Amino acid sequence: MTLAQLDTSFWLTKDKAWVAERKAKWQDIEPGIALRRNKAETNMAKAYYLRGKQPNWEKLKTSDKSPRPLDLMMFLWLHPSDDPEVLTPLFKAYMESDQVHEEDILLGLMFMSTEFIDHTGTTKSLHEYQFPYLGNKNITLFRIMFADSLYVKNRLQQVITAGRVDARERKLAKAEQEIFGMLGYKHFVFFGAWLIQDSTSIFCRDCLYQYPDVLDWCMTTLKYDAEFIARIQHPSALASYHKALYRIAHFNLEQEGDTPRANAVRYLRELIEQGDFLPEFKQIWQQVKAGEVEVEKPWQRF
């Protein structure tokens, strides 16, 4: 399958009700897309969203400008289908296409850090949100795009080809860090921030941390995250881990009720107790859980 073989039958352009609903949804989607794109670029995304019309890939490939009008994440997110069986072949077709610019792939894969950081931040409304809001389609995209990290890394090596060998190697290393750099102990800090969010917030509701397979993926580098040891030498960083782990250990499950967030806390507690972590992390966890560390204002963000 190639991008030229895109099945546009998913765009029900002859169904007036479907078209009307699609146009109404675009009104909510457009601000996030237009925030960093000019009118022409936004219209490319709009044409794809409403009619399945693809941009002029050949022309776009001659420009290094970012953000891209229809990067990998946008291509999958704006597709009418939420079915992984439909979107997975599209993901592979995009990743292996010689039509798209390497930045279309790189920027599309980098959406993951935004999903973790911004969903657990201080943003109160979609009006304040600085990126396209994926809603609960984010988990579908995560499972498609990060199911096989080795495949992604191999494709990055193949698409980053321009320039001298040393420049390509630096760009590849930078890309891998930006795409996979969220793995590791820093997730505990963001998870802890999720636990103090308003439970009625859409950002709380759609947070990726609620899914066990996402938590498993986040923890894959814990055994050799050497940066963690360096980070906790700084008092402010250590205090942020104390706060996060306190919230995880003492989160009121009874008050929370039967929610995905409560289930995620239970799952993460079990992971910490039974998982293979650095001894330094285990020690901090046990100290915080036992009340041996004084944590100042643990339920306040700052």
- Torsions phi, psi of 81, nearest 5? -90, 145
pLDDT by residue (tens digit) across 228-282?
A: 888 899 999 999 999 999 999 999 999 999 999 999 999 999 999 998 888 899 9
- Burial of residue 68 (CB within 10 Å: 0-12, 13-18, 19+) is buried
Tell me the whole-structure pTM to 2 decimals.
Answer: 0.90
Residue 20 pLDDT > 90: yes
Q: Please report, for the chain, how many H helices and E strands are present, in that order.
A: 18, 0
The per-residue pLDDT for 182 is 63
End-to-end CA distance of the chain: 50
- pLDDT tier at 58, thresholds 50, 70, 90: very high
**Percent of the residues in the chain that have a pLDDT greater than 70, as a whole number:** 97
What is the distance, to the nearest Å, from the Cα of residue 213 to the centroid of all Cα atoms in its chain?
A: 13
d(CA 151, CA 148): 5
Q: At what angle do helices 235-250 and 260-274 cross, to 10 degrees?
A: 120
d(CA 46, CA 27): 10
- pLDDT tier at 124, thresholds 50, 70, 90: confident
d(CA 164, CA 161): 9
- pLDDT tier at 128, thresholds 50, 70, 90: confident
The per-residue pLDDT for 223 is 53
CA angle 223, 227, 230 (to 5 degrees): 120
User: What DSSP state is assigned to residue 63?
Assistant: -
State mean pLDDT over 118-128.
Answer: 84
Residue 57 pLDDT > 90: yes
The per-residue pLDDT for 299 is 95
The per-residue pLDDT for 121 is 86
pLDDT by residue (tens digit) across 144-187?
A: 998 888 899 899 988 887 778 888 888 888 888 778 766 678 89
H-helix or E-strand spanning residue 106: helix 102-109
- Torsions phi, psi of 160, nearest 5? -90, 95
pLDDT by residue (tens digit) across 178-237?
A: 787 666 788 999 999 999 999 999 999 999 999 999 999 888 755 556 688 888 999 999
d(CA 4, CA 96): 13
- Burial of residue 243 (CB within 10 Å: 0-12, 13-18, 19+) is buried
E strands present in the chain: none
pLDDT by residue (tens digit) across 86-121?
A: 999 999 999 999 999 999 999 999 887 788 888 898
The per-residue pLDDT for 163 is 72
